[in-house]
Chains A and B, each alone.
Chain A
Amino acid sequence: MSVQNSKAAASVRKGSIVPKVPGVKPTKAAYKKKDEEERVDKGVGWDETHGKGLIKPADQLELTEAELKEEITRILTANNPHAPQNIVRYSFKERSYKQVVVDQMAVHFVLEGSLVHQDSDEARRLRARGGLPGGPEVVTVETGAEPDEDETETPATPVEDGGEVEEVGEEDRPDSVASKTDKKQPKLTNQINFSERGTQTLNNPLRERSTQTEPPPRRNFSATANQWEIYDTHMEELQKQEKNKEKQKATLPKTDSDRSKKRLMLMETQSDDFTKVGKASKIFERMIHQNTFDDIAQDFKYFEDASDEFRDQEGTLLPLWKFQYDKAKTLSVTALCWNNNIQDLFAVGMGSYNFSKQGCGMVVFYSLKNSSFPEYIYPTKSGVLCLDIHQQHSNLVAVGFYDGCVAVYDLKSEGLEPVHKSTAKTGKHTDAVWQVRWQNDDMDNNHNFYSVSSDGRVVSWTLVKNELIYTDIIRLSLNGAVSEGPEDAQLPIFTCGTAFDFHKQIDSLFLVGTEGGKIHKCSKTYSSQFLETYDAHSMAVDAVRWNHFHPKVFISCSSDWTVKIWDHTINTPMFTFDLNAAVGDVSWSPYSSTVFAAVTTDGKVHVFDLSINKYEAICRQSVVAKKTKLTHLEFNPVYPIITVGDDRGYVTSFKLSPNLRMKPKAKKGQELPKGPEVEVAKMEKLLSLLREQEESPV
């Protein structure tokens, strides 16, 4: 009923809206006021304000004009039009029907919210379940006690909320417990009607923009860092620092030298030549030589002839290297001398003994390390007859020539000319110089040497400030010593001196051998007299040598085929050996006082050891081809080898077999005495034996 009423009311209302007359404008305000509270409608069937034709619905009530004009009052009340107005209830108390107050509220729209008040029970329950912070009774997730509490709570909640949701919640809980620290705090949500709706903002379109720069140029670099590279850089740094210091010290004068140095350096770098391998090539030559003559080198060093034991005190000479120089083929070896300081270097003087054929000569130095080519070559105008190397300053070589000159060569100086040379003005000999010998430096520390020549003079030459100054020491005459004074009536006849030797210990004592075969004992200090004269040989004395150890003994050899050993206090020789051929040279060995060797013109080398055999040589060996004459012989001061020169320009070296190098046998239990005293004693023993022999027949 109420519904029908409302419908009618609505239609009435509808009709009343239409007839609004524009002329009623001034009263619109009044109407508006009324409208707010009650609406008074006029039944006009035409809406002028809208200007449209009125459309009547088909089922509209047809009313008469009078009915239309009837004013119906409408009142706006707060009553719910739908609410029934005439509900009565029978009240048994009053036994009548009473009107009931009807609830006038009409709910138009209900929207339940999804938020939960934070202090409500549900919120508390949610917090406990979800592990949310923010409440005083929140328990941290990490503790193990928390799950128990949840478990006790969760059975209570299914009663109130949906059971399914709780299970889900339980499942969620372990996850949330586990990863609580990672997740954001979840929202406090209502379990019933929580709905989440997300929106997405408009995403701006992405645009990519990139640029590329040009890569920097790359270069591969590799290096090693070794110990020596580090060292090298340090050294360079050091040198740079030193240079800087020097530059700071001296500025102007240094710049010139720097410039010149720079020029030199430029020159050096430009020339791409191999002078830089000069040193290496020299050493290479020797290396190759060593390889080629490997067996000889091994023999030289190590070979000791074992068969000497069975040879009954005889020895042999093992040929080693053979030294020859192409350009010296026509010359014969006239002098040999070993270098004391460099023990593998020896000097060879080349010239000619032939009186008629005199040409140029040569001084040639060989090293044992290279037998194919000499180390130093000095060509000379005149044939060399003798040479001597200074004991201490082994770069100085004194040379005596066939034309009577003497010269001093310095090996260190470049160039092939002698450092000093005697000329006719400076007192050169008028005849061939047969022997030169260096002496100890004199009191002014000048080097000096002696020479003996066929003109009968023994001259001392002193090197004073780049000059050769000569001093006649003695003149050899047939009639004994001759005084220098012109009062002497006798014409002094000078003999030719052919050999001389200075005493090893007594500096002033020396021996001179002459062409006539006599040997004179002289002293440097006594220039007028000989100390003694020995009638040694029948022909020219070729060599005379003091013994290295025994102070009294000397040896002499001559072209009269003999070698004689003397005690200088006795006028007659101690020993005489006949060698069947002219003896060219004789030499004592440096290691024993009783061993000496001699070379003869028949190409043989004779080695004697007086302590073993007083009458015969213990080695007699033919060492060169036939018709080659041996001219000179020298023992090496250190190694057990000898060099022998011949008249073909060859120098051959030999190794002495052990038998030739015998040391005195020590008795069992006794110490082997060493040193020169032993040698002296050895010799002395021999001599004493001889003296006894001599004395006994007397």
Chain B
Amino acid sequence: MADVEDTLKRIETQKGVIGTVVVNGDGIPIRTTLDNSTTVKYAGLFRQLTVMARSTVRDIDPQNDLTFLRIRTKKHEIMVALENDFLLIVIQKPCE
């Protein structure tokens, strides 16, 4: 438990990381470093996207499953991890 706490803290304080959101299985954000409205937005939108993406992957091969989703945008990179019904979203601005 503490280990994960530490890791998450480290992620949050990493250079370039704009925010992190941890969403539980019900779609409720349980841990976030962003403000409320943005968090809710991210949680809802990415829930939908991951469900869609997961459906796509599994449709092609049911024994396969989606693990990570990485979206590179003009402004930053959004990384989504799917694990145990939980969603972990990290928004990072890659320093270049």
Contacts and interface: CB of A to CB of B under 8 A. Distances in A.
Contact of B4 (A230, A274, A294): A274
A203 interface: no
A278 interface: yes
B10 interface: yes
Interface in B44-96: 55, 58-60, 62-63, 68, 70, 77, 79, 81-86, 88, 90, 92, 94-96
Given A226-B55, A232-B62, A292-B95, A284 B4 contact: no
A282 interface: yes
Given A224-B55, A226-B58, A291-B92, A282 B63 contact: no
Determine which residue in B7, B8, B92 has the highest number of CB atoms from chain A within 10 A of its CB, and name it. B7
Given A283-B81, A287-B70, A291-B77, A274 B8 contact: yes
A273 B1 contact: yes
A549 to B, nearest CB: 42
Given A228-B59, A231-B63, A274-B22, A288 B4 contact: no
A292 B95 CA distance: 6
Interface residues of A, number: 30
Contacts of A287: 68, 70, 79, 90
A275 B4 contact: yes
A372 B7 CA distance: 11
A224 B55 CA distance: 10
Interface string A217-230: 00000001011101
Contact of B90 (A272, A279, A288, A372): A288
Contacts of B40: none
A226 B15 CA distance: 41
Mostly, the B contact residues are mixed
Contact of B16 (A280, A282, A291): A291
Contacts of A224: 55
A292 B59 contact: no
A281 interface: yes
B79 A284 contact: yes
B24 to A, nearest CB: 6
B62 A228 contact: yes
A263 to B, nearest CB: 19
A276 B70 CA distance: 20
A277 B30 CA distance: 12
Mostly, the A contact residues are helix
A619 to B, nearest CB: 30
A273 B70 CA distance: 24
B59 A226 contact: yes
Determine which residue in B24, B70, B81 has the highest number of CB atoms from chain A within 10 A of its CB, and name it. B81
A547 B11 CA distance: 43
B15 A277 contact: no
Contacts of B86: 274, 276-277, 280
B77 to A, nearest CB: 6
B93 to A, nearest CB: 9
A6 to B, nearest CB: 116
A231 B55 CA distance: 12
A283 B4 contact: no
Given A272-B30, A292-B95, A281 B58 contact: no
Nearest to B63: A231
Contact of A281 (B7, B85, B94): B7
Contacts of A228: 55, 58-59, 62
Interface in A83-123: none
A277 B84 contact: yes
A441 interface: no
B83 A284 contact: no
A279 B88 CA distance: 11
A373 interface: yes
Contacts of A373: 10
Contact of B88 (A232, A272, A281, A372): A281
Nearest to A291: B94
A276 B88 CA distance: 10
A294 B30 contact: no
A278 B3 contact: yes
B81 A277 contact: yes
Contacts of B62: 227-228, 230-232
A288 B16 contact: yes
B14 A292 contact: yes
A295 to B, nearest CB: 8
Contacts of A232: 62
Contacts of B90: 284, 287-288
Determine which residue in A275, A288, A289, A294 has the highest number of CB atoms from chain B within 10 A of its CB, and name it. A288
Nearest to B8: A281
Interface of A: 224, 226-228, 230-232, 272-285, 287-289, 291-292, 294-295, 372-373
Interface of B: 1, 3-4, 7-8, 10-11, 14-17, 22, 24, 30-31, 55, 58-60, 62-63, 68, 70, 77, 79, 81-86, 88, 90, 92, 94-96
The 10 closest A-B pairs by CB, nearest first: A228-B58, A231-B62, A280-B81, A276-B84, A228-B62, A280-B83, A278-B4, A291-B94, A281-B7, A227-B59
17 contacts: A226-B58, A227-B58, A227-B62, A228-B58, A231-B62, A274-B24, A276-B86, A277-B86, A280-B88, A281-B88, A285-B7, A285-B11, A287-B79, A288-B79, A289-B14, A292-B16, A292-B95
Given A226-B59, A278-B3, A292-B15, 5 more contacts: A228-B58, A273-B1, A277-B81, A287-B68, A291-B77
